[in-house]
Amino acid sequence: MKSAANKKSIYFIFVTITLDMVGIGLIMPVLPDVLRRFISDPTELTKLFGYFVAVYALMQFFASPILGSLSDRYGRRSILLISLLGSAVDYVFMAVASTLPLLFIGRVISGLTGASMTVANSYIADISDDSNRSANFGMIGAAFGIGFIAGPVLGGALGHFGPTVPFIAAAILNFLNFLFGLFILPESLAPEHRRPFELKKINPFVSIVKILKPSPILVFILTYSLLVLAGSSHPSIWTLYTEYKFGWSPLQVGLSLSFVGLIYGVSQAVLTKKLVPIWGENKALIIGLIFNAIGFTLYAFATHGWMVYAIMLGSCLAGLTNPCLQSIMTKKVEANRQGELQGDLVALSSLAAIAAPILYTATFNLGIRPDSPIPFAGLPYLIAAAFVVLSWILLRRRLSNEA
């Protein structure tokens, strides 16, 4: 009976994250056009785009330890619902923003309420055991993928009616998501597993210092951080890169992001479930890292739009990385610290994601400037590949010692 209840809960979280990611995916293809309402210079636009992405991560850096610890104290469900309702209100705010500062204020609110992933990971950890943990985290990845299949295409299509229309659509979806959780989603953290809320645990810098101390999971945490730096290349630069290099419209950008979602979803929902039991989590993780590095390198050198689709398809095994890494880390942490761990990880990834958009947009600007000493638009993706290679070097030695 418990197994059946857990299965239903996984499906609830799956749908919740899918709808949440559809909302995020809706606005990605039109963000440059939204910013062009306030600024027209291409170089300044690229910088502004990087700051716009970075401020979201900055807010999550401060908010995530708080939300993770609150979910350990009061349960996952209530924190998740607050996050979803806050996101719905925020999308409306950004849609009607009449000045650039107001648009950035909306982005600040979005970062503060962006708890979905932290709490969802904790929720999955609550209801998983060693026999299904990787597969369950794979379902979360699949939800991301499916959300990005539908969201960017809808965003690109709705963008034809105006750059703010996708924001309204995202607000509606997040509100429906809130209603779904309000009436259907059960609580996952039993009262006996909850713990007191401690102020010292919500300082994000304390979280960073603590999580970077020597521990059995330190290498995995460093790997996680490097992979966040690498993966942040897509939200930081994808729309600008494909617009510049291939002349893509918002709809074409949306279609490409949807294809990313399709490949990612199939990889995490199907390949993780099929291949991890055969290879084991350690080997599957290393294989995922190798395919990640190859994929980023090929993106840098793609000369035609169709090549991007071939690269996505060829690097599908990269989707094994995150669920295996998450599973390995959660197995090394007690049940009543899962929320703290996920909050700390999001804080750490947010810190990396603050720097990433500024790094990638700056190197993109460097690559496209007429007087550039490195005239290569794909430079950001070579940097992303280097981060993955570094994580592979760190992790390979640790996993070989455990074998």
Segment 13-44, tens digit of pLDDT: 787 777 777 777 777 788 888 888 888 888 88
φ/ψ of 187, rounded to 5, equals: -80, 145
Give CA–CA dist 113/126, Å, rounded.
22
pLDDT confidence of residue 6? 65
How confident is the model at residue 115, as a pLDDT?
55
User: Which of the pair, 259 or 16, is modelled with greater confidence?
Assistant: 259
Distance CA(336)–CA(38), nearest Å, equals: 47
- Give the list of residues 6+ apart from residue 3 with CB closer than 8 angstroms, or none: none
For tokens 């999971």, the residue is 217
**Residue 237 tokens, joined:** 């630069």
Q: In terms of Cα–Cα distance, which of 321, 315, 312, 316 is closest to 391?
A: 321
Q: Which tens digits make up the pLDDT trace of 179-235?
A: 887 887 777 777 777 777 777 667 777 767 777 787 777 888 888 889 989 988 988
Segment 90-112 shows an average pLDDT of: 85
Compute the mean pLDDT over every residue in the chain, rounded to the nearest whole number.
82
Higher pLDDT, 363 or 53: 363
Q: Mean pLDDT over residues 337-364, rounded?
A: 80
| Nearest of 402, 230, 229 to residue 328 by alpha carbon | 402
CA 208 – CA 228 distance, rounded (Å): 15
> When comparing pLDDT for 163 and 295, which is higher?
295
CB within 8 Å of 371: residues ≥ 6 apart: none
What integer is the mean pLDDT of 289-294? 94
Name the more confident of 399 and 359: 359
* pLDDT of 107 strictly over 50: yes
Its pTM stands at 0.75
Answer whether residue 175 shows pLDDT above 80. yes
Q: Is a pLDDT exceeding 90 seen at residue 264? A: no
Residues 47-62 have pLDDT tens digits of 888 888 888 878 877 8
pLDDT tens-place string over residues 385-403:
999 999 999 888 777 666 5
Q: How far apart are the first and last CA of the chain?
A: 36
Predicted pLDDT at 295: 95
For the CA atoms of 249, 251, 255, 256, what is the dihedral angle to 10 degrees? 20
Tokens 């503060």 belong to which residue? 112
Which residue would you say has higher pLDDT here, 215 or 368? Answer: 368
CB within 8 Å of 192: residues ≥ 6 apart? none
Residue 200: how many CB atoms within 10 A of its CB? 8
Q: Tell me the mean pLDDT in the region 348-368.
A: 87
* The pLDDT of residue 1: 41
Buried b / exposed e along 213-227 (16+ C-beta atoms within 10 A): eeeebebbbbbbbbb
